[in-house]
Amino acid sequence: MIHLSEIHRAFRVGDDEVRALRNVSLDIAPGEYVSVMGPSGSGKSTLLNIIGLLDRPSSGLYRLDGEDVTALTPDRAAQVRREKIGFVFQFFHLVPRLTAAENVELPLMLAGTPVAERAPIVGRLLQEFGIAPRARHRPDQLSGGERQRVAIARAMVMHPAAILADEPTGNLDQTTGKEVLHLLEDLNTRGVALILVTHDPELGGRARRQVRMIDGEIHSDTGARP
């Protein structure tokens, strides 16, 4: 599904060129559970941004479901993100003035789904993630775990093929973090590819396939095919 080949990504910071990714090649099949680990600055977030079409490689090729998405126009990239990828962030990124239900509804709203069709979809997701009683609360009235569950519901609302989670438990206590991770893994067992970026070896170790990054390169990959 995801096919990265010889991806480079360099940033210019002042006079220095920072090479965030060097010659990264990675294939991820539909429904796979991959953790990307490495120290901070190793390029794992950059890799996730490139997979999520939030960033573009400086060179290399990226195919998503067979389509070359290396150099899409920004609007087409937005459309692909909307249809195929769900994001879960460390800081939740909920819109503070909207209720939990409205936050979950946002991708449907941007996609232009009719109002009548949205309510049942949102209702079902809130139910599924156990936040239905909190549907009318704003993010500042929710606990960290509830916020992250709202964010996951939002990521799932468009039925993405892959969930990209960047340190999804980084802002949660241990117990809540575990719960959130179980939730994501549960989604994975139902066929959604899960790509989990973390610096925590204990969390990353739960994935069937583990990719280790150091200095912008893939250092090891337990699932790499020859």
Residues engaged in binding other proteins (CB under 8 A)? 45, 49, 52, 54-55, 74-75, 78-79, 81-83, 87, 89, 91, 93, 95-98, 106-107, 109-112, 114-115, 154, 158
CB 24 within 8 A of CB 217: yes
- Closest to other proteins by CB, 50 vs 207, is 50
- Closest to other proteins by CB, 10 vs 78, is 78
Record the tokens describing residue 184, joined without a space: 């994501």
To 5 degrees, how large is the angle CA 52–CA 177–CA 220?
50
Task: Kindly state the smallest distance separating residue 87's Cβ from other proteins, in Å.
Answer: 5
- Closest to other proteins by CB, 106 vs 178, is 106
Which residue do the tokens 């990264």 mark? 24
Helix extents (H) in the chain = 44-51, 74-84, 100-111, 115-128, 144-156, 174-189, 201-204
Task: Kindly state the smallest distance separating residue 226's Cβ from other proteins, in Å.
Answer: 32
Q: Residue 59: how many CB atoms within 10 A of its CB?
A: 12
Task: Kindly state the smallest distance separating residue 85's Cβ from other proteins, in Å.
Answer: 8
Task: Kindly state the smallest distance separating residue 103's Cβ from other proteins, in Å.
Answer: 10
- Closest to other proteins by CB, 139 vs 204, is 139
Cα distance between the two ends of the chain:
17
Which residue do the tokens 């789904």 mark? 113
Task: Kindly state the smallest distance separating residue 166's Cβ from other proteins, in Å.
Answer: 9
- Closest to other proteins by CB, 32 vs 102, is 102
Record the tokens describing residue 190, joined without a space: 């139902």
